[in-house]
A and B are shown apart, each in its own frame.
Chain A
Amino acid sequence: MKAVIRLGRSGEKKIMVEPKDLKVILATDCGSTTTKAILIEKKGEEYRQTYRGESPTTVEAPFEDVTRGALNAFAELEELSGRKILDGEKIIMPARDNVGVNIYVSTSSAGGGLQMMVAGAVKTMSAESAQRAALGAGAIVTDVIASNDKRLPHERIELIRQHRPDMILLSGGTDGGTVSHVVELAEQIAAANPKARLGTTFKLPVLYAGNKDARDIISKVLEEKTYLQIAENLRPTLEAENLMPARQKIQELFLEHVMAHAPGYKKLMTWTSTPIMPTPAAVGAIIESKAKRDGINIVGVDIGGATTDVFSVFDGNFTRTVSANLGLSYSISNVLAEAGVENILRWIPFDMDEADLRNRVKNKMIRPTTIPQTLEGLQMEQAIAREALRLAFEQHKSLAVGLKGIQRVRDISETFKEAKVETLVDMLKLDLIIGSGGVLSHAPRRAQAVLMLIDAFLPEGVTRLGVDSIFMMPHLGVLSSIHPEAAQEVFEKDCLIPLGACLAVINIGRLGEKCLDIKIHYQDGRKIEESIPFGELKLYPLGPKEEAELEAHPTRQFDLGKGKGHALKTRVRGGVVGLVVDTRGRPLNIPKDKAKRIELLKRWASALGAF
């Protein structure tokens, strides 16, 4: 076996193996509650995920050492696979017969992940670009500070002090442009004298990615009080955004200055064959590479207990957002607070009063590991999931936008005025929605996942749907940094479960009025022709390996993306659920009347076989 030794940026040795020699890959994701380990093996000519083990994460007291949880997860893998992975507390490398592995890779979101504050001169320009850079690097952005954020300087200083982020990203000014705004922000950061969240004796990393002419002054202001690092300007001109250098630098700082101070990570970092990636950055990487490889537009979502991440790739533009307080256990009460009781109740197919809903939600929050036992309990959680997904997607759409401040900008004062900018997320161009997270991946029936995804994301025209089988996107994302082909192969074969496709009409009408005629031509010659009135959900069989020709003719007032009344002809791929035709209209209106609402929700769920 040929081993290539390269030096990491921080000088550490990383042993790289030639991709062709990778026979056995060990990967973990150290999450905030569970450490999940998987084994990927080369079987003949293909890579497949073979075994999975998990164990509680051990970052917190009494263990305070992340490697304990990883070792426990490895032990479970050993037990299940029969492969000896550990020699004491050492990973056996390289692999021989049934012993050892070739490489070990890991992602991490333990201890609350990477928490950052970003600062920029103009809220809708450099601050927004900075926010996108931080999110793209896998961070949770705790606050955005900008010269024009209407806060008083002392309020900003108090905020910086209180937040105790892991890192601050400072940006502002185009290259050669004004320096005073960004220097003013730097002065405020210095005045706050911020302390790092972990490792209180260390200086807080501050990354400056603004006007290059201000670098010397910024250094003078911040060098003494912070661990200042410089990256290329992320907004070198108004017309260009250059996020990659800042994103890479954030991930380096995350490893060297944040992770290194988290309990046990120094040791874990010596075990891995490639740098540990923040979990969301890894998920983003695998989604981005899928979009690129297939030349498609994707929206991916990972709904967890505390946070919900949304990823999108439209025409090659990658955006990631995280809704830090939208989730289904720790954050479940916040979904209720943000969405409002009415919006949750509109998805519940039985009579439930507000007080009961409130108490149940709070009880889930204080005992986050309980699971729904009754059908009603499950329906309530899936109702809340729809709202968490909807809100997270709304937040995503507002940040996944083109650059603001272009063309219309004549002078700096104009840039302070907010302009309405179109989101990059175009539902008609969307090819695939990928869902991940317990409520979607582990829904007792796959049709329930389909219904949640359709109700929350409201796809238009034809859109494929899929779910992550056992939450291995993070593992595959970090693997893709050294062996993209293996990562993609496992992604297609073992990770992504195709649910099917959805055809949805735009515009609204009266329940029962004529809406859509469809013809489905199957490969085996079968044909289905049907007329579907407005307000229905219909499911047609179309298996995971099947394709069919779909012809759809909407009536005059309805649109499938080709214009009102215009027919759509396309080839659709199936999935474990099938082809869903949704004539409920966009926007989706759910009747306010309780009895009518319950009747409709039941009808839709039963049409898909969800309940």
Chain B
Amino acid sequence: MAHAYTPGLRVAEKTKIRKARVLPLPGELVVKKGDRVEAEDVVARTELPGKVFSVNVAGRLGIPPEEVVKYMIRKEGDPVAKDEILAESKSLLAWLKATCTSPIKGTVETISNITGQVLLREPPQPIEVRAYIGGRVVEVMEKEGVVVETTASFVQGIFGVGGEAVGLLEMGVNSPEEVLEPKGIRQEHEGKILVAGSLVTWEAMDKARKAGVKGIVTGGVYDEDLKALLGYDLGVAITGSEEIGLTLIVTEGFSRINMAKKTFELLQSKRGMKASINGATQIRAGVVRPEIIIPLNKEATGEEETPAETGMTIGDMVRVIREPHFGKIGKVKSLPVELQTIETEAKVRVVEIELTEGSTILIPRANVEVIKL
């Protein structure tokens, strides 16, 4: 390995963000190129086909499948109401007639003369896609969706749960070391996105969701508390679709870990501004990390940051991301070329780090990430 892999999570004061807002199926766009949109605005809508139900008409009427068509009162494409008669057997005697009714309101999709099944489809469900971030529509994909662009402060988390949420940013604590506890959650936090420091407790998360807090951004969380929030033990790290009443974004990891100073100060400086957050995380091929986007006012000035390569060089600030020095921050002192034998007896590439507390340690390069303070 030529250099250590670093997840390269971005923390940018000002950067250009583009978000594709795409419908799951072709539909109608309600904005056009150049339009200014707010995060809550609908940009496209469509209808999702309804659920399909099958009715065993041949079985119900006691007739061979190939004869089902003959007995159908409603034909393919016809609308049907719930409990409406779909098919009826013919008999001279009224009380010998067998009928088959529709279990749903919808339309007749197909009639099979092989299986004797009739497929019914529920009415379509309307689906709306919102802008998610305030900005300008810069691209239009006919019938599919739009791309919204904005200049924003941008923070990537390492892990999250819960989907997209929009709210005003509010500080739940005063420093990156502080723990967000229930007493830090107040009624006026309803609809807000709260920033915690080194930890948010389960009790605080529970109180927050009951108080209508939309999201919490924290340095660390205990896995036991995450389990309590989700109601189950998370197995595979593919998240974003949980319906847990709030979106949680963790910036550093599992345990009590101070939020990186730069991240905390950036979020603090945007207090009161509207933020768009998404906890969706996918840690495997095609990595997706959770995000916090805070669109800046039009008059925002200053240089835009572009993502930098994350190779490690002497003098870089790094954070240790595995025991025994997990969470500690230091400066790269040297990058020895030769493989070194570590405590486990494995031979690995190492990095020498001068910790901020003064001591020097030698650890595997795979166990650090480059950070910006």
Residues in chain A near residue B369, CB distance under 8 A: 367
CB-contact partner of B283 in A59, A330, A337, A358, under 8 A: A330
Bound Cα distance from A330 to B159, whole angstroms: 13
Closest Cβ of chain A: how far from B39's Cβ, in Å? 25
Residues in chain B near residue A531, CB distance under 8 A: none
Contact call B285/A59, Cβ cutoff below 8 A: yes
Chain B window 136-178, contacts with chain A (Cβ cutoff 8 Å), 1 for yes, 0 for no: 0000000000000000000000110000000000000000000
Residues in chain A near residue B323, CB distance under 8 A: 360, 373-374, 376-377
Residues in chain B near residue A400, CB distance under 8 A: none
Residues in chain B near residue A354, CB distance under 8 A: 224
Taking the complex as formed, is B346 at the interface, i.e. its CB lies under 8 A from any CB of chain A? yes
Chain A window 176-197, contacts with chain B (Cβ cutoff 8 Å), 1 for yes, 0 for no: 0001100110011001100000
Contact residues, A372-430 vs B (CB, 8 A): 372-378
Residues in chain B near residue A306, CB distance under 8 A: 284
Closest Cβ of chain A: how far from B152's Cβ, in Å? 20
Residues in chain B near residue A325, CB distance under 8 A: 235-236
Taking the complex as formed, is A371 at the interface, i.e. its CB lies under 8 A from any CB of chain B? yes
CB-contact partner of A358 in B115, B254, B286, under 8 A: B254
Bound Cα distance from A371 to B366, whole angstroms: 7
Taking the complex as formed, is B38 at the interface, i.e. its CB lies under 8 A from any CB of chain A? no
Q: Total A-B pairs in contact (CB under 8 Å)?
A: 159
**Number of B residues with CB within 8 Å of any CB on chain A:** 52
Q: Kindly report which residue of chain A lies nearest to residue B157, judged by CB atoms.
A: A366
Residues in chain B near residue A369, CB distance under 8 A: 5, 366
Bound Cα distance from A60 to B283, whole angstroms: 13
Bound Cα distance from A187 to B115, whole angstroms: 9
Bound Cα distance from A111 to B53, whole angstroms: 34
Contact call B255/A180, Cβ cutoff below 8 A: no
Residues in chain A near residue B281, CB distance under 8 A: 366
Closest Cβ of chain A: how far from B225's Cβ, in Å? 10
Contact of A60 with B158 at beta-carbon distance under 8 Å, contacts A358-B224, A363-B254 already known: no
Contact call A32/B285, Cβ cutoff below 8 A: yes
Taking the complex as formed, is B266 at the interface, i.e. its CB lies under 8 A from any CB of chain A? no
Contact call A337/B235, Cβ cutoff below 8 A: yes
CB-contact partner of A359 in B109, B222, B283, under 8 A: B222
Q: Kindly report which residue of chain B lies nearest to residue A112, judged by CB atoms.
A: B285
Contact call A184/B233, Cβ cutoff below 8 A: no
Taking the complex as formed, is A154 at the interface, i.e. its CB lies under 8 A from any CB of chain B? yes
Residues in chain A near residue B324, CB distance under 8 A: 373-374, 377
Taking the complex as formed, is A334 at the interface, i.e. its CB lies under 8 A from any CB of chain B? yes
CB-contact partner of B114 in A183, A331, A367, under 8 A: A183
Contact of A363 with B255 at beta-carbon distance under 8 Å, contacts A371-B348, A373-B364 already known: yes
Contact residues, A321-373 vs B (CB, 8 A): 325, 330-331, 333-334, 336-338, 354-355, 358-373
Q: Which of B89-97, B126-134, B203-211, B337-345 contacts the other chain?
A: B337-345
Taking the complex as formed, is B51 at the interface, i.e. its CB lies under 8 A from any CB of chain A? yes
Contact call B115/A368, Cβ cutoff below 8 A: no
Taking the complex as formed, is A153 at the interface, i.e. its CB lies under 8 A from any CB of chain B? yes
Residues in chain B near residue A188, CB distance under 8 A: 52, 54
Residues in chain B near residue A375, CB distance under 8 A: 343-344
Number of chain A interface residues as a range: 35 or more
Bound Cα distance from A153 to B344, whole angstroms: 54
Bound Cα distance from A361 to B253, whole angstroms: 11
Bound Cα distance from A371 to B114, whole angstroms: 58
Chain A window 74-86, contacts with chain B (Cβ cutoff 8 Å), 1 for yes, 0 for no: 0000000000000
CB-contact partner of A157 in B52, B116, B284, under 8 A: B52
Contact residues, B181-229 vs A (CB, 8 A): 222-224, 226-227
Contact call B343/A154, Cβ cutoff below 8 A: no
Residues in chain A near residue B222, CB distance under 8 A: 355, 358-359
Bound Cα distance from A192 to B323, whole angstroms: 48
Contact of A191 with B52 at beta-carbon distance under 8 Å, contacts A362-B223, A365-B237, A366-B158 already known: yes
Residues in chain B near residue A445, CB distance under 8 A: 345
Residues in chain A near residue B233, CB distance under 8 A: 333, 336-337
Residues in chain B near residue A110, CB distance under 8 A: 285
Bound Cα distance from A374 to B362, whole angstroms: 12
Q: Kindly report which residue of chain A lies nearest to residue B7, judged by CB atoms.
A: A367
Chain B window 33-68, contacts with chain A (Cβ cutoff 8 Å), 1 for yes, 0 for no: 000000000000000000111100000000001000
CB-contact partner of A367 in B235, B255, B286, B322, under 8 A: B322
Taking the complex as formed, is B367 at the interface, i.e. its CB lies under 8 A from any CB of chain A? yes
Q: Kindly report which residue of chain B lies nearest to residue A368, judged by CB atoms.
A: B283
Contact call B344/A373, Cβ cutoff below 8 A: yes
Taking the complex as formed, is B119 at the interface, i.e. its CB lies under 8 A from any CB of chain A? yes
Residues in chain B near residue A374, CB distance under 8 A: 323-324, 343-344
Contact call B234/A333, Cβ cutoff below 8 A: yes
Bound Cα distance from A266 to B254, whole angstroms: 42
Contact of A370 with B345 at beta-carbon distance under 8 Å, contacts A59-B285, A338-B235, A362-B254 already known: no
Residues in chain A near residue B116, CB distance under 8 A: 180
Bound Cα distance from A184 to B223, whole angstroms: 45
Taking the complex as formed, is A217 at the interface, i.e. its CB lies under 8 A from any CB of chain B? yes
Residues in chain A near residue B236, CB distance under 8 A: 325, 330-331, 333-334
Contact call A373/B254, Cβ cutoff below 8 A: no
Taking the complex as formed, is A442 at the interface, i.e. its CB lies under 8 A from any CB of chain B? yes
Closest Cβ of chain B: how far from A340's Cβ, in Å? 9
Residues in chain B near residue A358, CB distance under 8 A: 222-224, 227, 254
Residues in chain B near residue A180, CB distance under 8 A: 65, 114-116
Contact call A153/B52, Cβ cutoff below 8 A: yes
Closest Cβ of chain A: how far from B359's Cβ, in Å? 16
Taking the complex as formed, is A444 at the interface, i.e. its CB lies under 8 A from any CB of chain B? yes
Taking the complex as formed, is A158 at the interface, i.e. its CB lies under 8 A from any CB of chain B? yes
Contact call A371/B253, Cβ cutoff below 8 A: no
Contact call A179/B114, Cβ cutoff below 8 A: yes
CB-contact partner of A366 in B52, B115, B159, B286, under 8 A: B159
Residues in chain B near residue A359, CB distance under 8 A: 222-223, 254-255
CB-contact partner of B343 in A158, A179, A373, under 8 A: A373
Contact residues, B281-333 vs A (CB, 8 A): 281, 283-287, 321-324, 326
Closest Cβ of chain B: how far from A309's Cβ, in Å? 16
Residues in chain B near residue A371, CB distance under 8 A: 322, 346, 348, 364, 366-367
Bound Cα distance from A238 to B227, whole angstroms: 46
Bound Cα distance from A110 to B285, whole angstroms: 8
Contact call B158/A367, Cβ cutoff below 8 A: yes
Contact call A187/B119, Cβ cutoff below 8 A: yes
Bound Cα distance from A154 to B363, whole angstroms: 54
Residues in chain A near residue B112, CB distance under 8 A: 183-184, 187
Chain A window 104-117, contacts with chain B (Cβ cutoff 8 Å), 1 for yes, 0 for no: 00000011100000
Taking the complex as formed, is B110 at the interface, i.e. its CB lies under 8 A from any CB of chain A? yes
Q: Kindly report which residue of chain B lies nearest to residue A331, judged by CB atoms.
A: B236
Closest Cβ of chain B: how far from A247's Cβ, in Å? 24
Residues in chain A near residue B99, CB distance under 8 A: none
Taking the complex as formed, is B117 at the interface, i.e. its CB lies under 8 A from any CB of chain A? yes
Q: Kindly report which residue of chain B lies nearest to residue A378, judged by CB atoms.
A: B344
Contact of A366 with B253 at beta-carbon distance under 8 Å, contacts A371-B367, A373-B363, A374-B344 already known: yes
Contact of A366 with B237 at beta-carbon distance under 8 Å, contacts A375-B344, A444-B344, A444-B345 already known: yes
Bound Cα distance from A476 to B236, whole angstroms: 31
Closest Cβ of chain B: how far from A225's Cβ, in Å? 12
Bound Cα distance from A110 to B54, whole angstroms: 38
Q: Kindly report which residue of chain B lies nearest to residue A358, judged by CB atoms.
A: B223
14 cross-chain CB contacts under 8 A: A179-B114, A180-B65, A191-B110, A331-B236, A358-B222, A362-B234, A363-B321, A364-B322, A365-B237, A374-B323, A375-B343, A442-B346, A444-B344, A445-B345
Further pairs besides A367-B322, A373-B323: 5, Cβ < 8 Å? A60-B286, A112-B284, A157-B51, A180-B65, A183-B115
Contact residues of A with B, CB < 8 Å? 32-33, 59-60, 110-112, 152-154, 157-158, 179-180, 183-184, 187-188, 191-192, 217, 306, 325, 330-331, 333-334, 336-338, 354-355, 358-378, 442, 444-445
The 10 A-B pairs of least Cβ separation, nearest first, read: A334-B235, A358-B223, A444-B345, A337-B235, A362-B254, A337-B233, A153-B54, A359-B254, A370-B322, A378-B344
